[in-house]
Amino acid sequence: MMLHYYTIYALSDCGYCARAISKLGELGIDHLLVLMDKAPDFHAHLKKEYDHHTVPLIVKSNKTNGDDIEFIGGHDDLMARLTHEGYEDDGC
C-alpha cells in the first residue's frame, strides 16, 4: 500500500490537468483534485509558494497526516516521476 497520494491543483479547462488526473486514475494511484477556478487568490498563492506558474501544480502528500512531502511540478514532471518509479510510459 502506498503511503502517499498526489494532490493535483488544477483548472477545469486545462487539458494537461485532465491528462494527469486520467493517468493517475488509470494507474490506480490515489490522488486528490483541487479545482481553483473560483479561487484565484489561492491559485496566486500556490504559484508564488512553489514558483510554478502553469497548471497543474502537483504535490506528493503524506497519507498519514496529509502533509506535503514534495512538490512534483506539472504534467510533464509527473509523467517523468511515474516513469522513474517504474510505471509504463505510453506517451500520455
- Tell me the pLDDT tens digit for each residue of 37-55: 999 999 999 999 999 999 9
In whole angstroms, give the CA distance from residue 23 to residue 87: 10
pTM, entire model: 0.89
What residues in the chain have per-residue pLDDT under 50? Answer: 92
75: helix, coil or strand? helix
Cis ω before 40 (30° cut-off from 0) = no
CATH architecture of 4-84: 3-Layer(aba) Sandwich (3.40)
Query: If phi over 0 gives left and psi between -120 and 50 gives alpha, with beta otherwise, what is residue 75?
Result: alpha
| Stretch (H or E) spanning 84 | helix 75-84
Cell numbers at 66, concatenated:
496529509
Q: With the C-alpha atoms ordered 69, 16, 10, 47, is the resulting torsion angle positive or negative?
A: positive
Residue ranges per structural domain of the chain: 4-84
